[in-house]
């Protein structure tokens, strides 16, 4: 017996939105092809003190405790930028005819892991993401959020590839 088809009037679409051209393109394609009742804009962010500690530790240098410099998330420039990005996502959703709800998720490891955790908690009908489409040697050094979502989220995922330009990406 086939699985029941979800009622489009009750479907929820979760957009992994980082403000990039790729995430905007994915959102536009999803808006054209899917008409869910609810749209959730999910922006993952990493506190600046963690970014600094990771950068310093990667060089083999002694790590300073940067967490004391920022008391709350509101004082963190990375949080402020993530909030701006999520608001841009809501504005984009409204321009495409949706009423959207923005969500910020703080990540402590990889961005894709935070997105997977949030998606598994929110249980949307579909997760939408763009991809940068790295190939060749670049793909060896850069983790693919879309690929990791595909393999770990455990629910339908709508992946939109980047524009095919004439530049060689290898």
Classify residue 166: in a domain, yes or no: no
Kindly state whether residue 3 falls inside one of the protein's structural domains. Answer: no
Q: Is residue 98 part of a domain?
A: yes
126 close to 153: Cβ distance less than 8 angstroms: no
Question: How far, in Å, CA of 83 to CA of 13, rounded?
Answer: 20
Q: Is residue 5 part of a domain?
A: no
Residue 90 lies in a domain: yes
The answer as to whether 167 is a domain residue is no
Read off the CATH number of the domain in which 51 is found: 3.40.50.620
The count of domains in the chain is 1
- Confidence class for position 81, pLDDT limits 50, 70, 90: very high
Q: What is the pLDDT of residues 140-149, one digit of tens each?
A: 566 788 888 9
Is the pLDDT at 40 greater than 90? The verdict is yes
Domain carrying residue 51: 12-160
Q: Is 149 part of a structural domain of the chain? A: yes
pLDDT for 170 equals 44
- Going by pLDDT thresholds of 50, 70 and 90, the confidence category of residue 163 is confident
Question: 103 - beta bridge partners?
Answer: 42
Answer with the residue of higher pLDDT: 137 or 128.
128
On the 0-12 / 13-18 / 19+ scale of CB atoms within 10 A, 90 is middle
Taking residues 45-67, report their average pLDDT: 61
pLDDT single digits (tens) 91-116: 999 999 998 999 999 988 888 999 99
Instruction: Please provide the average confidence, as pLDDT, over all residues in the chain.
Output: 81
In a domain, 170, yes or no: no
């Amino acid at each position: 017996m086939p699985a029941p088809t979800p009622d489009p009037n009750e479907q929820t679409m979760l957009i992994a939105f980082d403000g990039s051209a790729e995430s905007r393109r994915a959102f536009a394609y999803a808006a054209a092809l899917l008409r869910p009742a609810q749209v959730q804009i999910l922006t993952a962010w990493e506190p600046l003190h963690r970014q600094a500690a990771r950068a310093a530790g990667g060089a083999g240098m002694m790590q300073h405790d940067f967490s004391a410099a920022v008391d709350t998330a509101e004082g963190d420039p990375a949080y402020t930028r993530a909030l701006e990005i999520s608001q841009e996502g809501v504005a984009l959703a409204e321009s495409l005819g949706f009423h959207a709800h923005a969500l910020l998720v703080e990540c402590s490891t990889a961005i894709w892991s935070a997105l997977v955790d949030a998606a598994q908690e929110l249980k949307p009908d579909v997760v939408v993401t763009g991809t940068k489409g790295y190939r060749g040697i670049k793909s060896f050094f850069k983790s693919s959020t879309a690929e990791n979502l595909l393999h770990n989220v455990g629910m339908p995922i709508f992946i939109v590839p980047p524009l095919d330009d004439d530049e060689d990406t290898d």
